[in-house]
Amino acid sequence: MRRTSSLVLSVVVLLSVVLVPAAALAAPAAWQRVDVALHSEQSGGVMLVSGELPPEATLPAEAELSVPAGYPLLWIGQIMGGDPSADPALTYTKATVGASDVYRFTLTQSRIAQVEVQNNGALPFDGTNYEPDLNWTATQGVPEVRVAVRVPQGAQVVRAADGATMTSAGDGYAFYAKTFSDVKAGDQLGLSFAYQSGAPSTPGASTASSGSGSTAQVLVILLVLGAGVAGFVAIQRKSALAAAAGTVPVDSSANGTSTAYKDGGRGGRTSSAVSSKAASLATADVAASAEGSRSQPSPGTTRRKLVTAGLVVAIIGAVLVVVNQTTKPQFEGDSITQTFSQGQPCSSTTVALEIPTGSEAADIAERLFGALEQLEGMNTATLNTSTSSIDVGFCESKANEDVVRQALLATGLVAQGAAAPAAQVGAAAASTNASDAQVLTVDASSGSFVPTELRAGAGVPLEITFGQGTGCTAEVVFPELQIRQSLEGGPVTITLPALEPGTYSFECGMDMAHGTLVVQ
């Protein structure tokens, strides 16, 4: 009996040692709220999934967050609420559960964790509308989940999602978001909609102006096409009448030696049979007439060719009208927007302006747009006369904020102090440290490299310290120097030997943010 009791006690102790940790491992801390945000770009983008524990949760706490399976990890860490470079990265384990990759970690300093992954899918675009489609599967119950897609500020939703609303995100962007309550494990949440990039429409005169412009385009097209069709019908009818009036049927006799002519215009009287010689002459005339018809097109054929050419010209004219109208600046109330290229801008910037009193908005827009259209990578530009500012969207693979600002400065319309300080966006010159190495610092926390141009002297070693980067700037690459360095873990110093004079480029791991190192 004692042996049995001892055996039972041993089993209980063993089970408690094995099962209690297993139960604890199987039950992560419950989130109070989860946010799923998609920063969608045409070439891909970034998905950010963050979770917030309730205030009563104690640290350290085991927790987990899920993302769609197969999305490459960019960063995972704790959100401290201050400088992003101070957010500590987390050690994690990963397991694939169904269609989700589940990251498990221990929160020690903050109740908020975030996972950033690269979005594998490009942003669908049908030539007019962008159609984001965000899907996320919950792997545990959450009282509240907010799913959101980042869009350019001023984007117009043309196909809405039930319960979704637009909120400002700053820096030229907005979030189209929807909140789900009482989400259960296994629930599949989605946000699918369509939008057009551009300045938002406003009621009143702006709507009337836009509508009248569209109406004018439609009227011009209808008038041109209508005129072409009416001309085609009139010429066809005239050709048919002329052909009916000039028709002379010919009947051959059975023996082929005589021909009877019927004068349909004179009461149906029939002439007598003609001689064989006359028939021969008639045959010769017919042959000559046939030969002439082969050498000269009939009036009907000529008319048809003219009508076809006219219709082609009309269609080309209608197309030119549409293209001309769509490439012109669009007036929307206090805003004037110029589209330089189709597609969604990778980045945007807003520059304050000093508009001379009494200036015409169209003239100011022409000067600003003219300066920008010379640059590569421009997407859209919107002049807002009420705020005296211009919003410029561009692709960072071909342009950057510095280039845009420099182009606008040349117009003389940029407000004093509007351009960022040279230490931030201009060329940064290297200083020296105690070891006589040149020292430079680059901020990577904003999704781009600041400054974008570095200057150093030739023949002297160089140290470049990059701040912690996330998303696109989670990695820096120097192609010419064959250097690739992760920036996820915090500030990283790259030591370079004495370089020869020249320009050395650097870029993010996704080839979206760029910079240059000029050695002189």
- Alpha carbon 362 to chain centroid, angstroms: 27
Residue 299 pLDDT greater than 70, yes or no: no
Q: Are 162 and 222 spatial neighbours (Cβ–Cβ below 8 Å)?
A: no
Contact 337, 330 (CB under 8 A): yes
Task: Kindly state the average pLDDT of the residues 80-86.
Answer: 79
Asked if 35 contacts 62 with a C-beta cutoff of 8 angstroms, the reply is: no
Q: Which architecture, in CATH terms, is 333-419? A: 2-Layer Sandwich (3.30)
The phi, psi pair for 402, rounded to 5°, reads: -60, -45
- State the fold for domain 423-519: Immunoglobulin-like (2.60.40)
Higher pLDDT, 206 or 512: 512
Give the per-residue pLDDT at 314.
63
Q: What is the pLDDT of residues 446-471, one digit of tens each?
A: 777 888 888 888 888 999 999 888 77
Q: For the chain, percent helix, then strand, then coil, each to nearest 5?
A: 30, 35, 35
CATH of domain 26-196: 2.60.40
Beta strands per DSSP E along 219-303? 251-252, 259-260
Pairwise CA distance, residues 202 & 208, whole Å = 10
pLDDT score, position 297 = 55
User: Token digits for 17?
Assistant: 């040692």
What mean pLDDT comes out for the span 279-298? 44
DSSP 450: B
CB burial of 480-515 (b: ≥16 within 10 Å; e: otherwise) equals: eeeeeeebbeeebebebeebeeeebebbbbbebbbb
Measured CA to CA, the distance from residue 487 to residue 493 in angstroms comes to 10
- 321 pLDDT above the threshold of 60: no
The token pair that represents 74 in the structure block: 């960019």
Return the pLDDT at 170: 65
Euclidean distance between CA atoms 472 and 458, whole angstroms: 30
Those residues whose C-beta lies under 8 Å from the C-beta of residue 241, and which sit 6 or more positions away, are: none
Tokens of 28: 């992560």
Which range has the top average pLDDT, 15-29, 36-50, 151-165, 224-238? 151-165
pLDDT value at position 243? 57
User: What pLDDT is recorded for position 421?
Assistant: 38
Q: How large is the average pLDDT for residues 368-392? A: 86
How far apart CA 296 and CA 501 sit, in angstroms, is: 75
pLDDT tens-place string over residues 238-286: 666 655 555 444 444 434 333 333 343 433 333 333 334 333 434 444 3
Q: Is the pLDDT of residue 347 over 60?
A: yes
Beta strands 431-432 and 438-442, pairing class? antiparallel
Q: Percent of the chain having pLDDT more than 70?
A: 63
**The domains spanning 26-196 and 423-519 adopt the same CATH topology:** yes
Q: Say if residues 170 and 151 touch (Cβ distance below 8 Å).
A: no
Q: Which helix (H) or strand (E) is 366 found in, with range?
A: helix 361-372
Short-list 217, 211, 224, CA closest to 323: 217
Under 8 Å between Cβ of 470 and 73:
no
CA atoms in the 13 A half-sphere facing the CB of 366: 5
CA distance 371 to 368: 5
CA 132 to CA 191: how far, in whole Å? 8
Can you give the pLDDT at residue 263?
40
Residue 358 is predicted with a pLDDT of 78
What is the total residue count of the chain?
Answer: 520
HEC states along 163-182?
Answer: CCEEEEEECCEEEEEEEEEE
Q: Is the pLDDT of residue 21 over 60?
A: no
Beta bridge partners of 46: 39, 118
What is the strand order of the sheet 453-456 is part of?
427-429, 453-456, 514-519, 502-508, 475-478, 483-486
Count CB atoms within 10 A of the CB of residue 270: 9
Least confident of 199-213, 419-433, 478-492: 199-213
CB–CB of 260/320 below 8 Å? no
> Hey, what are 45's tokens?
């983008």
Q: What is residue 491's three-state secondary structure?
A: coil
pLDDT of residue 407: 81
Judged against a pLDDT cut of 70, whether residue 56 lies above it is answered with yes
| Torsion over CA: 205, 207, 213, 215 (sign) | negative
Give me the residue label for tokens 């009448």: 241
Per-residue HEC secondary structure of 171-239 comes to CCEEEEEEEEEEECCCCEEEEECEEECCCCCCCCHHHHHHHHHHHHHHHHHHHHHHHHHHHHHHHHHHH
158 with 195: CB under 8 angstroms? yes
Q: Could you tell me the residue ranges of all domains in the chain?
A: 26-196, 203-242+277-328, 333-419, 423-519
Range 404-422 average pLDDT = 70
Average pLDDT over residues 61-67: 95
What would the two tokens of residue 378 be?
């421009």
The pair of structure tokens assigned to 229 is 């069709």
Q: Tokens in use for 270?
A: 């029939």
Mean of pLDDT values over 56-76: 92
Residue type, 280: S
Cα 149 to Cα 175, 188, 392, distances in angstroms: 6, 16, 20
Residue 69 has a pLDDT of: 92
The yes-or-no verdict on residue 7 having pLDDT over 50 is yes
- Give me the pLDDT at residue 92, please: 94
Residues 117-156: tens digit of each pLDDT = 987 777 788 778 888 989 999 999 999 999 999 888 778 8
Q: How confident is the model at residue 324 (pLDDT cuts 50, 70, 90)?
A: low
Average pLDDT over residues 469-483: 86
The pTM is what? 0.41
**Poorest-pLDDT segment among 165-174, 260-269, 294-303, 368-377:** 260-269
